[in-house]
Amino acid sequence: MEIIFVPSLSLAKFSKSQTLWNSPLLVHCKPTSVAFSSVTHHHLPKCFLLHSQYGVRSKAKEKQNLGVVHASEAASSTTTTTTNANNAERWLLEPVGDGDTRHIGYKVEMPGAYEIASSEVTVGRVPDKADLVIPVATVSGVHARIQKKEGNLLVTDLDSTNGTFINDKRLRPGVAATLSPGSSITFGDTHLAMFRVSKVKNVKVADTNGQTETELDTNKKSDDTETS
């Protein structure tokens, strides 16, 4: 009888040393709560310096289709008045990572842009526990919470393994931090889960029967940096 030996195959495993402490991976959205759309993303030059702030200018078009992220019904615990006021505010997350997947070992698609439509949204890897689902190994099951409150966008790291970052600053778990228009937020991976934050204003247009157009509230400091 002839015996044939077949080499065993296994998925690549990543040691703890390969999981960078300061390396913040993203993004797929929960089908029941997120409307997907195709959004052109910006590819940046590949860079191995983690958490550096990219000088990318984001331009939102009036009729641009976005993935709108809503919180689950169970997450709604505020009063109707407060919820309606918060939901009237529109915040946009646009991907600005370079899309490099070599540190993972397999192809991961870049996310599109997301409009935060609810007063509270949970970000994480596990679909049953998150509204904005990121099926990447470096994102924790429940990674962070995003809240709209009194005209501000707040983010809280929920004790994630690889951290949540605003620009290059790692957030303390459980402590809410304010996201400003023009700043960047990273969920565990600078290559695939890094977003630029914009606040969208509804502007009334004369003689259009209540129709509105949108414009982005950009960060003046970012503009000054790019033009200098």
Per residue in 6-65, pLDDT (tens digit) is 444 444 444 444 444 444 544 444 444 443 333 344 444 433 334 434 433 434 444 344
Is 177 contained in some domain? yes
Is 126 contained in some domain? yes
Residue 104: helix, strand or coil by DSSP?
A: coil
Is 167 contained in some domain? yes
List Cα–Cα distances, 2 to 5, 72, 184, in angstroms.
10, 59, 61
Share of the chain above pLDDT 70, in %: 50
pTM: 0.57
CA 73 – CA 96 distance, rounded (Å) = 30
Is 129 contained in some domain? yes
Q: Report the half-sphere exposure of 15 (CA within 13 A, side-chain side).
A: 1
Is 12 contained in some domain? no
Average pLDDT value for residue range 132-146: 88
| Selected residue with higher pLDDT from 203 and 88 | 88
CA 166 – CA 189 distance, rounded (Å) = 12
- When divided into structural domains, the chain yields a total of 1
Q: Six-digit token pair at 38?
A: 């195709």
Is 18 contained in some domain? no
CATH for 126: 2.60.200.20
Is 165 contained in some domain? yes
pLDDT at 157 over 70: yes
Is 114 contained in some domain? yes
Average pLDDT value for residue range 202-228: 49
Domain carrying residue 120: 25-48+65-227
How much is the mean pLDDT over the chain? 68
